[in-house]
Structure 1
Amino acid sequence: MIATRFRLTSLTRFGVLFDMLDPDFDPAKLEVILFPNPMLRYQAKPVRKVDLRLRKIIQRMFDLMYEHRGVGLAATQVALPLRMFVMNPTGDQGTGKEFVMINPEISRPRSNEEAEEGCLSLPGLHGNVVRSKTIRVNAYDRSGNEIKADFSGFEARIIQHETDHLNGTLFIDRMKEGAILEMAGELEALTTDFESRQRTGAIASNETWQALASDWEALYC
């Protein structure tokens, strides 16, 4: 049993002050964070338990993914330092298959292909990334059942993209240098906006994000 400790770190996001570690915290308040939030560079930690609150968080991640018309979403993209992600290759709620992957491990990568990718934390930006065509994944679902399966094509690409997130890697890190230079203006605009909102207190300081991550790790890792 992991002892809980609540630092009660308050964050202001979108003008709403709330406490993510309050026992009554509503996961509906979670939102997708944007580049260059430091949590997007965080090394997510393995999850050691799944409780009702974490299942609600997982459902909120699905809701956000569909709301933003994505096909995958990692926990670090909602500012949680937990090694898990959700995905639905169709991107449409009610169709396709939903996957929850907790503590994913990728092995047996085979062959490579290049394709365009985007990211909900880098809205409007796209670029070509080389990924393995086929991979094997070991993970757990939200019920604690083991997942051991081979994935290929688009599903394999999503899994690699989301697992990168859990390692603090963004798709832009895998793009060719020339392609990155072409989006330098957009990245600078995102950075300027983020830093401006931090100065006004609309977004928490980097130190607060780190403290929050430490508390979540104490709860679930």
Structure 2
Amino acid sequence: MPLEVVHYPHPTLRYQSKPVKRVDADLRKIVAEMFELMYENRGIGLAANQVDLPIRLFVANLSGTKGEGEELVFINPVISRPKGNEEEEEGCLSLPQVFGPVKRPAEIQFDAYNLQGELFSQRIDGMLARVVQHETDHLDGIMFFDRMQPSAIQEIAYDIEEFVIDFKSRRDVGGMPTDEEIAERRQQYEATYC
């Protein structure tokens, strides 16, 4: 079944992902498909939760364009030693066309594995630091608006509610799997990779 970007309030977006213990040809294929989806949706990062996969993995390319920039794969990322603070507007492929100001540490340390199973660590700032934090939040079931101030959330509350209404109406007509079906699919992926 081809992957697709799921929209809020899909249950997997609130699921705390499990660490990846195995990288195989199928996982590499999933990563390639995630990059394609990210580019199609004009994003610069995409977490596994956003394609209904319960595994600690995300992809990023700050250029947002296939064939340009650097494609990065983060498996089991860990963020540490935050420093500073800055507020920037963020959006999310699981809430298209919804944006809001989010305060995050300006600089972080991260440790993650790549597709070759090699650990890579780096101290980063700027847009890459923001993307790594945003996507790692996804892996912990945290949406960007969870980090916004209440007054800023009020400004996008109607837009978020529209996604909730759309999700419920699609589910009512059988266009979305049930929570039980989603949980069963998650368990199958966890059994394979975690």
**TM-score, shorter chain, exceeding 0.5:** yes
Q: Distance in 2 between matches of 1:130 and 1:67?
A: 28
Q: Distance in 1 between matches of 2:128 and 2:162?
A: 31
Which one-letter code corresponds to 1:168 in the other structure?
G
Shift of 1:39: 0.5
Secondary structure at the counterpart of residue 215 of structure 1:
helix
Q: Distance in 1 between matches of 2:62 and 2:106?
A: 15
Structure 1 runs of 4+ aligned residues shifted over 6 Å read none
In structure 2, the residue matched to 1:206 is 179
Shift of 1:189: 1.1
Secondary structure at the counterpart of residue 111 of structure 2:
strand
Q: Distance in 1 between matches of 2:98 and 2:32?
A: 26
Secondary structure at the counterpart of residue 44 of structure 1:
coil
Instruction: Determine which of 150, 154, 158 is the counterpart of 1:181.
Output: 154
Secondary structure at the counterpart of residue 114 of structure 1:
strand
Q: CA RMSD in A?
A: 0.8
Q: Scaled by the length of structure 2, what TM-score is found?
A: 0.98
The number of residue pairs the alignment matches comes to 194
Gaps of 5+ in 1: 1-17, 19-28
Give the number of the structure whose alpha-carbon radius of gyration is greater: 1
Instruction: Determine which of 73, 94, 102 is the counterpart of 1:100.
Output: 73
Shift of 1:206: 1.2
Shift of 1:145: 1.2
Shift of 1:68: 0.5
In structure 1, the residue matched to 2:136 is 163
Gaps of 5+ in 2: none
Secondary structure at the counterpart of residue 73 of structure 2:
strand
What are the superposed Cα offsets for residues 149-198 of structure 1, whole Å, 9 maximum, x if unpaired? Answer: 11111000000000000000000101111111111211111111101111
Please state if 1:57 is matched with 2:30: yes
Please state if 1:147 is matched with 2:120: yes
Q: Distance in 2 between matches of 1:106 and 1:203?
A: 34
